[in-house]
Amino acid sequence: MKQVVNVGLLGLGTVGGGVYKVLRNFKDVEILKIAVKDKDLAQDIEGLDRNLLTEDAKIIVTNPDIDIIIEVIGGTGAAYEFIKMALENGKHVVTANKELIAKKGDELFDIAKANNVLLLFEAAVGGGIPIIMPMKMSLAANKFEKIAGILNGTTNYILTKMDEENADYEVVLKEAQELGYAEADPTGDVLGYDAAYKIAILASIAFKKKIDQAQIYREGIDTLNPIEFKYANDFGYKIKLIALAQAIGNKLDVRVHPMLVSTEHPLAHINNVTNSVVIKAQPVNQVMFTGPGAGEMPTASSVCADVLAIVSEIHSTNNLLPEMRCNNTEKVDILPIDETVNKYFIRIDADDTPGVIGCIGNICSKYGINLSYIVQKDVTKDGLATIVILTGFCKEKSVIAALNELSSLISIKNVHKTIRVMEL
């Protein structure tokens, strides 16, 4: 007969409610206590014994009868304190908190190691997509080369609608908020913070290094214009917010920003709130993980999978799931964005006069920038021509220098947008 494993749940919001609904179906797991901010305002779940609720999380994380703590309250304040306290009290912890793992993970993993307990976080990156355990176990024989992913459903929904409906950013953002896909304050999503936390976690796992999340270059989607999507489509691309991590010499190139993705690449066809991660590694070559990146039950699925993984071993060994423990000791420098090498999509407004395109080509050549395409697309009534450029591979700082010189020319009126292009 299986022994029952006692669990304490911190948070009964959307994800916490889903976790409760899933775990109560497993007879070898018992939720002893649930911490909520206000018992009177806690959601009413059918069959929930409200005597389990408490407003004092400390009595849960210090309770000697509880084996596993599940944290789904979010943030880096109280969640950090409770997780730290739980680990120090010898409890295994499961969390969906990407920001906390990205910012405080190194410290918390050290505490977990010192107390011979686990800190698992499958739900922190892909929501319902299994990615952490596959990377650590199923792909353990591989040397990781590159990770590229769509890791935020809110931004992917907005970009999909801007592309399909030729809609302005602000219009689609409002729609996403009304549908519940975007928060009232969408900053964390649309400015790339959420995706940056997630790629920091994936990079640390893939390359077995400590990642300083603050060094990750981050650019959001809030300055994109529908015209960029039109021209991108003309060249055979879609615009996606891509989280990227790859090894470049003894440094890592880790960043988040909009990119043109060729329609030949599977990520170009990941639409709406779906998330996806493509991993390039040897000997497997390339694998792709796709699914719901958020939501009550998808996230609960990953949280509960971590809980059940612990439950399966907790009474049989003192060294649970050694493959899932974090043993990173080395820090690594993140390549500055101006040292990265990319292809670029550039949109310029210039006088519709002879020699302008030649001038642009000469200045790009001066800085070692090869042009794959340079096309005049439209001319306004004021006599301004829209010129769209696709470059070959070149350093970011070379592009910046060339565009600064172009901007100083009388014939160049605006350098509207520069978007990097993702390599296949």
Please give the single-letter amino acid code of residue 393.
F
Is the distance from CB of 245 to CB of 216 less than 8 angstroms? Answer: no
- d(CA 9, CA 78) in angstroms, rounded, equals 14
Closest by CA position to 242, among listed 128, 127, 155: 155
The CA distance from 121 to 101, in Å, is: 8
Report the alpha-carbon distance of residue 419 to residue 33 in Å, rounded.
49
- The one catalytic residue among 33, 161, 198, 343: 198
> CA-to-CA distance for 346 and 417, rounded, in angstroms?
6
Preceding omega of 283 cis (within 30 degrees of 0): yes
3-state secondary structure 372-406: EEEEEEEECCCCEEEEEEEECCEEHHHHHHHHHHH
Strands 394-395 and 341-351: antiparallel
CB-based burial, 135-164: b 16+ in 10 Å, e otherwise: bbeebeebebbbbbbbbbbbbbbbbbbbbe
Is 198 catalytic? The answer is yes
Q: Which residues are catalytic?
A: 198
